[in-house]
Amino acid sequence: MALLPGCRLALGLTALLLAAPGTLTAQQADDLIPGARVRVTVPRDSRDPYVGTLDHLSSDSLTLRVESRAPVLTLPLTRVRRIEVSAGETSKVVTGGAIGFGVGATASLLFLAGFCSDPDTLCGGDEWLRAFAFIALPSTLVGAGIGLLIRTERWREVELTPQAALHPLRAPRWHIGLSLPF
């Protein structure tokens, strides 16, 4: 049985997606370099995460230049619940355009329902085209323009690798600890 060219392409793309790695390399701790914009969540009274610039990262703590606090903040990694790295800003142009189109299409349909309800009016395809061109298209453009002005920051969660350490308890006793952030 021979597959059609379109089926082969779809099958190949499906196989490629299934073979893709589950964790991207951009999500690893290598993104945590000094100067990176990060968002750090720690369990505390306030639920707002710290947002700032990573100043230093060691095996047991991180130092952050927080925008709304003291010049630097040092947090032990044992208290850190989540670390995210900024993936840049994006606009809401598609969302705004979709909302604008929805409003414009609804207004066009309401206009056509009123305009075409008169038995003396012939409502053909050209009236529908004009209604959508003069009502739905401008509202789509206005919605996309408003969405272009709305900027949001995207964040990628970074998984810290488990840290193993040897700490002296009392001479000559030792213990081994393993920290698994989650």
Give all domains of the chain, ordered by start, each with its CATH number. 27-87+153-179 (2.30.30.100), 93-149 (no CATH)
The single residue listed with the structure tokens 């701790």 is: 29
- Strand bridging mode 163-168 / 37-41: unpaired
**What is the chain's mean pLDDT, rounded?**
75
pLDDT at 18 > cutoff 90: no
Task: Among 139-148, 157-166, 172-181, name the most confident range.
Answer: 139-148
CA separation, residue 145 to residues 91, 101, 117, 153 (Å): 10, 12, 34, 18
SS3 177: strand
**Nearest C-alpha neighbor of 53 from the set 85, 91, 10, 28:** 85
Residue type present at position 33: I
Q: What is the reported pLDDT for 26?
A: 37
CA–CA separation, 158 vs 26, rounded Å?
8
